[in-house]
Amino acid sequence: MSMEGKSWQLGSPETGIYRLYDGLRKRVNGKLARYLLSNGLNSQAAVVVEAGSGPAFASSMLARDRRVSLAVAMDIDIEALEEARRRDPSLALVVGDLHNLPFKTGAVDLTWNSSTLEHLDDPVAGLREMVRVTRPGGKVFVGLPYGRGPLGFQRWIPRTSVGIWIGTVFDMPTAKQLISSAGAAPRDHILYFFRFFLGVLADR
């Protein structure tokens, strides 16, 4: 399978644009990891699953926190997980489908992803699975391209290569309604990476 055109990657690994995008992604995930550690954990031995991880930069950051007993990066794309393994050999990786998560019901304290659901034909189905595997009292977080931010132009070019790469964009009410329809209760939100993305944190 070619790595070209993947949502987690821009260009081939030896190019300058890939290295620039990689650096920006690390910055995004650093802020996300800090937010999730501050707002998404309710226990001192949390199990955290990134459901649709790509190369899983933030999962590596979460795994190093003393409050996290297990951080799992899951993706259907084996190449993305191989990239994660090259970068962080200690990270727990699982191949799986967001529409049918390979975890027991109520087994996870925090289930999350960023820049994932916008690429699904049925994002509610993926969200319902995220809610299912999260324990009552746990948290679900999703990060989505923000339609009122710099990526708002996507709505005029949805079928172009750039529009497809960005994925569907969301405003805050639509994002919160999406999560509510999947059975979780939105409780907080964040705009991050210069308002390119919005994130919604919900209670299970």
pTM: 0.87
Span 6-35, pLDDT tens digits: 544 545 555 554 555 555 666 678 889 999
- At residue 4, the pLDDT reads 39
Span 100-129, pLDDT tens digits: 999 999 999 999 999 999 999 999 999 999
Query: Across-strand partners of 159?
Result: none
CB count within 10 Å of CB 4 equals: 9
- At residue 78, the pLDDT reads 94
- At residue 51, the pLDDT reads 98
Residue in the block written with tokens 């990270």: 91
Mean pLDDT of the chain: 89
Q: Report d(CA 130, CA 88) in Å as an integer.
A: 24
Q: Report d(CA 63, CA 92) in Å as an integer.
A: 9
CB proximity list for 40: less than 8 A, separation 6 or greater: 48, 110, 112, 139, 141, 201
147 within 8 A of 173, measured Cβ to Cβ: no
192 within 8 A of 170, measured Cβ to Cβ: no
Q: Report d(CA 101, CA 189) in Å as an integer.
A: 24
Domains parsed from the chain with CATH numbers: 16-203 (3.40.50.150)
CB proximity list for 80: less than 8 A, separation 6 or greater: 6, 8, 9, 53, 54, 55, 56
